[in-house]
Amino acid sequence: MGTLKPYLISTNAREQADFYLNSLGGKIVSLTTHEEAMGTQSELKDKVMHMCLNLAGDNYIFMADAIEPSSPGTDIYLSIDYNNIAEASEAFRKLAEGGKVNYPFELQPFGIYLGEVRDKYGVQWMITSETKTDAT
């Protein structure tokens, strides 16, 4: 049985990681630069070769700095389901700062709260919460 671990390539992995930690809560589990891993002494030496983030509970994503020019894809979404509507709403609001709301976070006809946002780094997020799990 495998475990899915999303891996984001970024133009500034440290900055993007800080944004996600502020928006979703969590911590940096590990961070390795090209210099630390490979002894690289070029312009790549301070670039992130591998970073592991623990986000929004028990979720993990990996990140690295792009070595070649890249543009984030728009056909992939990262989805987080919260047990608390207020928590989900707050995460959605923070991810939307500087980004673009595709669909506002609100109660949907099929019975859950759902919002879709493209963050300021171009990553698409789906934030959900079921109404029956909220204590309010």
Domain segments of the chain as ranges: 7-65, 77-133
pLDDT for residue 134: 43
Average pLDDT over residues 104-127: 93
Candidates 3.30.720.100, 3.20.20.80, 3.40.50.300, 3.20.20.30; correct CATH number of 7-65? 3.30.720.100
pLDDT at 136 over 50: no
Model confidence pLDDT, tens digit, residues 32-76 = 998 888 887 788 899 999 999 999 999 999 999 988 877 766 567
Burial class (CB in 10 A: 0-12, 13-18, 19+), 130: middle
Give me 114's structure tokens. 């759902």
Q: In whole angstroms, what is the distance from residue 44 CA to residue 42 CA?
A: 5
Domain 77-133 belongs in CATH node 3.10.180.10: yes
pTM: 0.81
